Amino acid sequence: MSRRLAMESFRRAHRVDVRTLISSAVCNRTVCTASKDLPSAYLAQYESSSSSSNHGAVDESYVLAELSSLLPISSKLSVTKDESISMNQIAVDSFLSPEEKLRGVFLQKLKGKSAIRKALSSLGIDLSIDIVADVVDRGNLSGEAMVTFFNWAIREPGVCKDVDSYKVILIALGRRKFFSFMIDVLREMACEGVTPDLQCLTIAVDSFARAHYVRRAIELFEESEGFGVKCSSTESFNALLRCLCERSHVTAASSVFNAKKGKIAFDSCTYNVMISGWSKLGEVEEMEKVLKEMVESGFGANCLSFSYLIEGLGRAGRVNDSVEIFDSMKQKGCVPDANVYNAMICNFMFARDFDESVRCYRRMIDEGCEPELETYSKLVSGLIKGRKVADALEMYEEMLSRGIVPTTGLVTSFLKPLCSYGPPHAAMVIYQKARKVGCMISESAYKLLLKRLSGFGKCGTLLNVWDEMQECGYLSDVEVYEYIVDGLCNIGHLENAVLVMEEAMRKGFCPNRLVYSRISNKLMASDKTELAYKLFRKIKEARVKENARRFWRRNGWHF
């Protein structure tokens, strides 16, 4: 690039034709060389040939070498190799988040932990526990790299060396199934002066249970005293049973439950955890057996016990039996609470008796039991899946009128089935009312809406939702651009569709072949051949860049 600039400046200064400059440079340089080393006969022959018109091809590298000798670059404009590397590094780092910069240190394959710590410290990033969580939770760091980074991070000013910080690395290691490193971190906590609590043990046990290492989870519970957590306490035993039952290892939980009878003091929570585990499997006999033992041990069945029992009967298809138990609760001195009513509503929804579920909800209000978010979640979700859209919207509005704001995930769960059938009106009502009450909408929910609006050609609403999505801070990816292009094609706005596609390609996205073929065919059918050809040239170039980007990503270059 510097040679080209020098040549252009020389040309503007002397107004000399470039071809004349190149030919004269070649002739002069060659004549000088020939006069020193070649015989006079060869020199005369070359001078006669060079004086004629330029017919021979000149090597480009040789011409550039001659120009560099004739037009030297000032030393003030030269940049050293280290400075260019530093400038390139600054340019690359400006596009990276702090988490990516920290993970990028481990891509350099540095040897020795001291070199890694030095490279991490040289970044000058103000650490926080959230940044540490993002580094270890995402990416593809090895277990050793995660532990090395965490050990460096807890010695930095922005991260406290406490139990909460260690929970971050334990969760990350357990999720990635780096169990040996997870156990080492548990052992190192005592050496660092941090005593693990019950939640740390629960994280480790749950990681084994999630990976179906049931025996290892139980062994870890037995060895927990070596980590500073007493396994003989009722609370820690309930945590073990809860982890096993929530991961559907109820048989193993029952074996541990029977083995610890008389060795560990059980409470009502212990029996309720076992009842809930059998309830998920619909094992009515096992539930009744545990409930009987609970009563014999002097613990009366509470509302939580009845809710698990009712829910298990519903899963077993015995809805009528669950109704009988529900009606007999008051006679046993137990007034139904929200958990019991939720279990009944869930049973009626499972049996597709939507009218009875709504009546159960009305009875709940009449008896003074205040509905919860879970109550409306079961009602609205069940009615939407049963395609009772009008009733679902009415229940949704009643939920908002009571001041209950849905969570981000709950709104997404409402929109997902609504965007799979029928027009997008009901989905837009759910979305607009959720935004009005201040609920945060997820990126996946926006994509569901854009896809549905695009299929029905509601481009005005589509563009409004797109603007609102960008206002919430979500960046548009290739799927979003494809939905916008599809929607514009459906209503015949081909020029705008081309503009959106060009914007996507400028941002580095290459729409798929189906979307391109659709807009190309519509352009050709509308006699817009020139516009179709220009789009073809741009999409061809974008595909080349996309293929190159995929190639480099496969080889470890992620910039």
Q: Does residue 42 lie in a domain region?
A: no
Instruction: Say which residue the tokens 């409470």 belong to.
Output: 267
Whether residues 385 and 466 share a domain: the answer is yes
**Exposure string for 48-85, b = 16+ CB within 10 A, e = fewer:** eebeeeeeeeeeeeeeeebbeeebeeeeeeeeeeeeee
- pTM flag (> 0.75): no
Q: Does residue 134 lie in a domain region?
A: no
Torsion angle in degrees (nearest 10) through CA of 122, 124, 125, 128? 90
Tokens of 396: 């949704």
- Residue at a domain's end among 475, 494, 518: 475
pLDDT at 20: 40
Q: Does residue 544 lie in a domain region?
A: yes
The full 3-state SS of 255-308, as one line of letters, equals HHHHHCECCECCCHHHHHHHHHHHHHHCCHHHHHHHHHHHHHCCCCCCHHHHHH
Whether residues 375 and 470 share a domain: the answer is yes
Given a cut of 50, whether residue 111 has pLDDT beyond it is yes
Whether residues 495 and 534 share a domain: the answer is yes
pLDDT at 556: 59
Q: Do 190 and 228 form a contact (C-beta atoms < 8 A)?
A: yes
Q: Does residue 524 lie in a domain region?
A: yes
Q: Give residue-wise pLDDT tens across range 20-32.
A: 433 443 344 333 4
Question: Quick one: how far is CA 548 from the chain centroid?
Answer: 24
pLDDT at 415: 95
pLDDT at 16: 39
Separation in Å, CA 136 to CA 151, 189, 199 = 12, 18, 19
- Residue at a domain's end among 475, 497, 526: 475
Average pLDDT over residues 58-64: 58
Whether residues 389 and 458 share a domain: the answer is yes
Average pLDDT over residues 433-459: 93
Structure confidence at residue 48 as a pLDDT band (50, 70, 90): very low
User: Which one has a higher pLDDT value, 184 or 331?
Assistant: 184
pLDDT at 359: 93
Whether residues 377 and 464 share a domain: the answer is yes
Weakest mean pLDDT among 104-108, 147-151, 446-450, 484-488: 104-108
Structure confidence at residue 443 as a pLDDT band (50, 70, 90): very high
pLDDT at 365: 93
User: Which one has a higher pLDDT value, 126 or 556?
Assistant: 126
CATH number where 422 lies: 1.25.40.10
Q: Does residue 43 lie in a domain region?
A: no
List the domain range (segments joined by +) for residue 554.
481-558
Whether residues 307 and 337 share a domain: the answer is yes
Given a cut of 60, whether residue 464 has pLDDT beyond it is yes
Q: Does residue 334 lie in a domain region?
A: yes
* End-to-end CA, the chain: 24
Number of domains in the chain: 3
Average pLDDT over residues 539-543: 88
Q: Give residue-wise pLDDT tens across range 191-244.
A: 888 888 889 999 999 999 999 999 999 999 888 887 777 666 888 899 999 999
DSSP annotation string for 476-496: P-HHHHHHHHHHHHHTT-HHH
The β-bridge partners of 173 are none
DSSP annotation string for 156-208: STTS--SHHHHHHHHHHHHHTT-HHHHHHHHHHHHHTT----HHHHHHHHHHH
Structure confidence at residue 471 as a pLDDT band (50, 70, 90): very high
Q: Does residue 451 lie in a domain region?
A: yes
Given a cut of 50, whether residue 299 has pLDDT beyond it is yes
Whether residues 488 and 399 share a domain: the answer is no
Average pLDDT over residues 450-454: 93
What is the phi/psi pair of residue 52, to 5°?
-75, 180
